[in-house]
Amino acid sequence: MPQHISTDSSSFPEMRKDQSVYVDKTAYLHKLITNCNAKRFFISRPRRFGKSLMISTLKAIFEGRRELFDGLAIAKTDWQWEKYPVLYFNLGFAAASSAADFRLSFPYAVEAPIKEAGGEYNSQLPPSMNFANAIDSLYASSNGKGVVILIDEYDDPVAQLLAKEDEAEKVREILATFYRQMKDRTEKIRFLMITGVSKFTKMSVFSALSNLRDISFDTDYATMLGYTEEELDTFFGEHTHAHAERMNLSYEDYRAKLRKWFNGYRFGKSSTQKVYNPVSIGLNLSKQEPYLESCWSSTGKASMLMNFLKREEVLDLDMDQITDVQEIDFDVSNIRALKPIPMLFQTGYLTISDYDPDTQMYSLCVPDFEVRQDLAMLMTTLSVNEDTLWVSKMKGQLFKSNWEEFFEGLKALYAALPYGAKEKKTHEHSYERNLLILLWALGIPSQAEARQSDGQADVVAVHKRGVFIFELKVDESADAALKQVKKKGYDAPYRAMNAPVWHIGLNFDSKTRRLTDALAEQAL
């Protein structure tokens, strides 16, 4: 019987005791904790990418819990399994709907970890002073071995308040005072690991600890979080073979589909290796449904992204052609002037597609189909300032061939789209891109400029419920668009499919930039 897959726990001890699948990352952790050149690290990764499990595993290592690591890579090394005092703070648990709310919750987020580590907490003192006293006292009791400090989701309280800049600044100052306590105590710290989604460079943890090593883009640790192809084979082989059979696919076709949906994240400069989203893999393989399911939305939106996005900034981006990004562009230095590209990257909606060592520039793209679908839904609802129900209705209208209702929805979408003052002319490509965004939001694999033997169709959407070939015209007519589809035979590659094939013609007015004419007919 396949090993149980835990989908609701990020506790390493709990997973090991339950004999759940644990993808062995301890070789990376051993390299970190035995590093002679650095003892203080920071790593940023998108939400639900295994940061908390990594921190929990480090905690167990430094607590000397050797019995939990039987069969894992670190157990085969010369690690001595000494017990260290460990201060483990998870700031994702601190409520931060306002600065006042955070002031009330923060002491509780600090008190419990200090007491668990064997320190004392004085409620008459602020959390920062209790933190300082705990480092001092625990270091003294460690016989000079030093204190291990693990801080998970260090940026979450600030991220929750990005839509309230003044409140976010107040929380940032509270945390700055707290993190500053490590500055004069670095010699007492045996090991420090800080995780987060975003790198707020003005958060004092970075200014106070000038020797804090950021390994977010380090090739040696590019696959420390997320699952590689090899790890999927090693740890989930029984599950993937069973799922392929359940989906009635050959194993080769199944893995190709799994790769398209969930494997697209690259975190290294020189390493081109990609990793799967671990939560999405765990949920799909544990459920064993006869289909792949998007889990990006169901596992929680990135609050920091949702709190700051302005629709004009996001809709203006071509997510597949973002180039010439410098590493400094990923840092969030000013919470009053947040930019969409670093926030989309740090929340997982974009990832590295290429890196040029000569120019030291990055190219970015959407990582996989799951994220593309969620991003498209986000961008579409931003366009019309409505919820996702509006978009979901259009999916049913398309599949049922309710063309009048579907075209009315399309017209509403294009009428609501903003256009920048610098955009003197809206090209056909812009209309194509917005149509693609809608189709991706509907969960329908779609391609622009689909090449054929006699030209290229503007947009083709392929689903088991139907093939939809869109031809777009500007200042012509929908009828002219349909005639081109038939004349060029754009439907030829899809006629053998066991699904209806539709020709859809759309015409736009260049002055109003609206959809004015639309027709659909089924291929004979």
Residue 457 belongs to some domain of the structure: yes
The yes-or-no verdict on residue 422 having pLDDT over 60 is no
CATH number at residue 38: 3.40.50
CB 407 within 8 A of CB 413: no
Report which residue type is found at 403. Answer: W
CATH number at residue 401: 3.40.1350
d(CA 97, CA 177): 20
- SS3 state of residue 460: strand
Residue 347 belongs to some domain of the structure: no
Residue 67 belongs to some domain of the structure: yes
Residue 223 belongs to some domain of the structure: no
d(CA 8, CA 421): 47
Residue 360 belongs to some domain of the structure: no
Domain that holds residue 18: 12-216
The yes-or-no verdict on residue 406 having pLDDT over 60 is yes
Question: Which pLDDT belongs to residue 447?
Answer: 86
Question: Which pLDDT belongs to residue 310?
Answer: 57
For 449-475, what is the mean pLDDT?
A: 85
451: burial class by Cβ within 10 Å (0-12, 13-18, 19+)? exposed
Last residue of a domain, one of 183, 216, 249: 216
d(CA 128, CA 110): 9
Residue 515 belongs to some domain of the structure: yes
Nearest partner of 50 among 277, 292, 283, judged by Cα: 277
The yes-or-no verdict on residue 479 having pLDDT over 60 is yes
CB 72 within 8 A of CB 26: yes
What string of DSSP letters covers 101-170?
HHHHHHHHHHHHHHHHTT----TTS-HHHHHHHHHHHHHHHTTTS-EEEEEESTTHHHHTTTTSHHHHHH
pLDDT interval class at 424 (50, 70, 90): very low
Last residue of a domain, one of 170, 199, 216: 216
Last residue of a domain, one of 198, 216, 234: 216
Q: Are strands 466-474 and 501-509 parallel, antiparallel or unpaired?
A: parallel
d(CA 196, CA 188): 23
Residue 81 belongs to some domain of the structure: yes
pTM for the structure as a whole = 0.85
Q: Which residues pair with 461 in a beta bridge?
A: 446, 468
Tokens (6 digits) for 189? 């710290």
For 389-403, what is the mean pLDDT?
A: 83
Tokens (6 digits) for 15? 């997973």
* CA-to-CA separations, 173 to 128, 169, 193, 218, 501, in angstroms, rounded: 11, 6, 21, 29, 59
Residue 280 belongs to some domain of the structure: no
At 216-270, the pLDDT tens digits run 999 999 999 999 999 999 999 999 999 999 999 999 999 999 999 999 999 998 8
Total of domains in the chain? 2
At 161-210, the pLDDT tens digits run 877 888 988 998 899 889 989 988 999 999 999 998 877 655 556 766 76
